[in-house]
Amino acid sequence: VHITVRNPRQIFIQHSNPAQTPLRISGAGARFVKVASVNQPADRLPVFGYGFSNPPPPLGSGEDPATQTCGLSPPFCTKSKYRSIDGSCNNLLRPVWGMPQTPYGRLVPYNYGDGVSAWPISRSGNPLPNPRDISLRLFPDRQLIDPIWNLNAQQWGQIITHDMSLTAGIAQSHADRITCCDNNGLLALDATTNPFCAPILVPPNDPVHSPQGTQCMNFVRTTSTRDRGCTPPNAPAEPLTTVTAYMDLSLVYGSSAGQANPIRAGAGGRLLTILRKGQEWPPQDPNVTLTCESAKSPNEPCYLAGDIRVNQNPQLTVLQIILLREHNRIADTLSRLNPHWDDETLFQEARRIHIAEIQHINYYEYLPIFLGFENMVKNKLIYPGAHGYVNDYNPNVDPTILDEHATAAFRHFHTLIRGYLKLISERRELVGAVRMSDWFNRPLLLEINDSFNNLARGLTVQEQGFSDQFWDTEITQFMFKRNNTFGGDLRATDIQRGRDHGLGTYAVTRAACGLPVPKSFRDMQDFMSTENVKILRGLYESFEDVDLVVGGSLERNVPGAQAGPTFLCILTEQFYRTRVGDRYFFENGADRDTAFTPSQLETIRSGASMARLLCDNADGINLMQPRAFQQISPGNQVVSCDDLPAVDLSLWQDASGLFK
Q: Which residues participate in catalysis according to the annotation?
A: 162
In sequence order, the 6+-apart residues with CB closer than 8 A to the CB of 631 are 148, 149, 150, 461, 463
Alpha-carbon distance of 32 to 29, in angstroms, equals 10
Least Cβ distance, residue 619 to ligand HEM (angstroms): 24
| Among the residue ranges 151-159, 525-533, 581-589, 620-628, the one whose residues contact ligand HEM (CB under 6 A) | 151-159
- 285, 303 Cβ separation under 8 angstroms: yes
Binder of ligand HEM out of 90, 167, 532, 617 (CB under 6 A): 167
Q: Which of 30, 107, 148, 170 binds ligand HEM (CB under 6 A)?
A: 170
Q: 390 vs 423, which CB is nearer to ligand HEM? A: 423
For residues 191 and 180, the answer to whether their CB atoms sit within 8 Å is: yes
In the complex, the smallest distance separating the C-beta of residue 440 from ligand HEM, rounded to whole angstroms, is: 7
**Which residue number, 413 or 567, has a Cβ lying nearer to ligand HEM?**
413
Candidates 285-293, 489-497, 511-519, 595-603; binding stretch for ligand HEM (CB under 6 A):
489-497
Q: Please state, in angstroms and as integers, the Cα–Cα distance from residue 364 to each residue in 2, 12, 26, 356, 533, following that order.
A: 21, 18, 5, 12, 36
Q: How many helices (H) and strands (E) does the chain have?
A: 21, 16
Q: What is the DSSP letter of 334?
A: H
Q: Which amino acid is at 476?
A: T
Q: Which residues contact 2 (CB under 8 A, 6 or more apart)?
A: 12, 13, 14, 15
Whether the CB-CB separation of 631 and 148 falls below 8 Å is answered with yes
The reply to whether 157 sits near ligand HEM by the rule CB under 6 A is yes
151 vs 334 by CB, closer to ligand HEM? 151
Q: Which of the residues 51 through 70 are near ligand HEM (CB under 6 A)?
A: none
Q: Which helix (H) or strand (E) holds 498?
A: helix 490-500
CA distance 27 to 366: 10
Phi-psi region of 118 (alpha: psi -120 to 50; beta: other; left: phi over 0): beta
Site membership for ligand HEM, residue 406 (CB under 6 A): yes
Minimum distance, C-beta of residue 493 to ligand HEM, in the bound complex (Å): 5
Q: Is 413 in the site for ligand HEM (CB under 6 A)?
A: yes
Asked, as a colleague might, if the bond just before 634 is cis with ω within 30 of 0, I would say: no
Kindly determine how many residues on this chain lie close enough to bind ligand HEM according to the rule CB under 6 A: 23
* Residue 591 phi, psi dihedral angles, 5° rounding: -115, 115
Nearer to ligand HEM, 82 or 420 (CB): 420
- Out of 135, 150, 165, 255, point to the residue binding ligand HEM (CB under 6 A): 165
Q: How far is the CB of 102 from ligand HEM (least distance, A)?
A: 12
Question: Is the CB of residue 333 less than 8 Å from the CB of residue 650?
Answer: no
Residue of the chain from 68, 91, 158, 467 that contacts ligand HEM (CB under 6 A):
158
- CB-nearer residue toward ligand HEM: 142 or 336: 142
User: Shortest gap between Cβ of 150 and ligand HEM (angstroms)?
Assistant: 13
Task: Give min distance, CB of 411 to ligand HEM, in A.
Answer: 5
* Interface of this chain with ligand HEM, residues 220 to 279, rule: CB under 6 A: 241
Pick from 379, 493, 532, 600: which binds ligand HEM (CB under 6 A)? 493
Instruction: Determine, following the binding rule CB under 6 A, whether residue 161 of this chain makes contact with ligand HEM.
Output: yes
501 is known to lie in a ligand binding site: no
253, 410, 506, 540: residue in contact with ligand HEM (rule CB under 6 A): 410
Q: Which stretch binds ligand HEM (CB under 6 A): 107-115, 157-165, 247-255, 514-522?
A: 157-165
- Alpha-carbon span 206 to 142, nearest angstrom: 18
Complex with ligand HEM: residue 166 or 424, whichever CB lies closer: 166
Q: Closest approach of Cβ 143 to ligand HEM, in Å?
A: 16
Nearer to ligand HEM, 171 or 390 (CB): 171
The minimum distance between CB 438 and ligand HEM, in angstroms, equals 13
- Closest approach of ligand HEM to the CB of residue 473, in Å: 13
Sole window of 14-22, 121-129, 154-162, 530-538 interacting with ligand HEM (rule: CB under 6 A): 154-162
End-to-end CA distance of the chain: 53
| Coil, helix or strand at residue 491 | helix
- Restricting to residues 297-336, which ones interact with ligand HEM according to CB under 6 A? 312-313
User: Measured between alpha carbons, how far is 346 from 357 in angstroms, rounded to an integer?
Assistant: 16
In angstroms, what is the minimal distance from the CB of 258 to ligand HEM? 20
DSSP structure string for 524-593: GGGTS-HHHHHHHHHH-S-GGG--HHHHHHHSPPPTTSSS-HHHHHHHHHHHHHHHHT-TT-TT--SSTT
State the minimum distance, in angstroms, from the CB of residue 340 to ligand HEM.
42
Q: Can residue 166 be called a binding residue for ligand HEM (CB under 6 A)? A: yes
Reduce the DSSP state of residue 434 to 3 states and report it.
strand
Q: Give the orientation angle of helix 610-617 with respect to helix 451-461, to 10 degrees.
A: 170
What is the sign, positive or negative, of the torsion defined by CA atoms of 522, 526, 529, 532? negative
Q: What is d(CA 269, CA 131) in angstroms, rounded to the nearest whole number?
A: 47
Nearer to ligand HEM, 264 or 482 (CB): 482
Judged by CB under 6 A, the stretch of 156-164, 319-327, 358-366, 505-513 that binds ligand HEM is 156-164
Restricted to residues 417-436, the positions that interact with ligand HEM (CB under 6 A) are 417
Outline where DSSP puts E strands in 409-496. 420-424, 430-435, 463-465
User: Rounded CA gap, 511 and 613, in Å?
Assistant: 41
Classify each residue of 8-25 as buried b or exposed e, where b means 16 or more C-beta atoms within 10 Å of its C-beta.
ebbbbbbebeeeebbebb
Contacts of 582 (CB under 8 A, 6+ apart): 90, 98, 246, 247, 248, 393, 399, 588
Residue 69 or 317 with smaller CB distance to ligand HEM:
317
Nearer to ligand HEM, 375 or 594 (CB): 375
Q: Which of 14, 54, 122, 172 binds ligand HEM (CB under 6 A)?
A: 172
Does 497 interact with ligand HEM (rule: CB under 6 A)?
A: yes
Within a 10 A sphere around the Cβ of 86, how many other Cβ atoms?
A: 26
Residue nearest to ligand HEM (CB): 157
Instruction: Determine whether 114 is exposed, middle or buried from the number of CB atoms within 10 Å of its CB (0-12, 13-18, 19+).
Output: exposed
Nearest to 263 by CA among 291, 282, 244: 282
Q: Provide the mask over 463-482, with x wherever binding to ligand HEM is found by CB under 6 A and - wherever it is not.
A: ------------x-------
Q: Which is nearer to ligand HEM, 163 or 206 (CB)?
A: 163
Q: Residue from 270, 329, 411, 583 that binds ligand HEM (CB under 6 A)? A: 411
Q: Which of residues 81-100 bind ligand HEM (CB under 6 A)?
A: none
Residues of the binding site for heme b:
414
Contacting residues toward ligand HEM, per CB under 6 A: 154, 157-158, 161, 165-167, 170, 172, 241, 312-313, 406, 410-411, 413-414, 416-417, 475, 490, 493, 497
Q: Residue positions in the annotated binding site?
A: 414
